[in-house]
Amino acid sequence: MLLTEFDEKAYIEGVKKQSYEEGEAIGEARGEARGAEKLARLVVELKKRGRVEDIAKVTDESERERLYREFNI
């Protein structure tokens, strides 16, 4: 193969890799945004119900998941 020849296979693999990485980054950003929104809804619910002491508990993953279930979030 000459240096000036186009390597279609390598090009396609490069595009696939770049597309995958971009898609992964978009998915991570969406997941982070949804997680932040979910946490904010939980904190608002706890505050509305006067359960301010439970807000500190959301740093513990298992406690946070329990509270999500309790409030159907």
Domain, as residue range, for 50: 42-73
Q: Is the pLDDT of residue 1 over 60?
A: no
The answer as to whether 58 is a domain residue is yes
The answer as to whether 21 is a domain residue is no
The answer as to whether 69 is a domain residue is yes
The answer as to whether 52 is a domain residue is yes
Local confidence band at 5 (pLDDT 50, 70, 90 cut-offs):
confident
Number of domains in the chain: 1
Q: Is the pLDDT of residue 6 over 80?
A: no
pTM of the complete model: 0.72
The answer as to whether 6 is a domain residue is no
Q: From its phi and psi, is residue 36 left (phi > 0), alpha (psi between -120 and 50) or beta?
A: alpha
Q: Which tens digits make up the pLDDT trace of 17-66? A: 898 899 999 999 999 999 999 999 999 999 999 999 999 999 999 999 99
The upper half-sphere exposure of residue 62, i.e. CA atoms within 13 Å in the direction of its Cβ, equals: 0
Q: Is the pLDDT of residue 12 over 90?
A: no
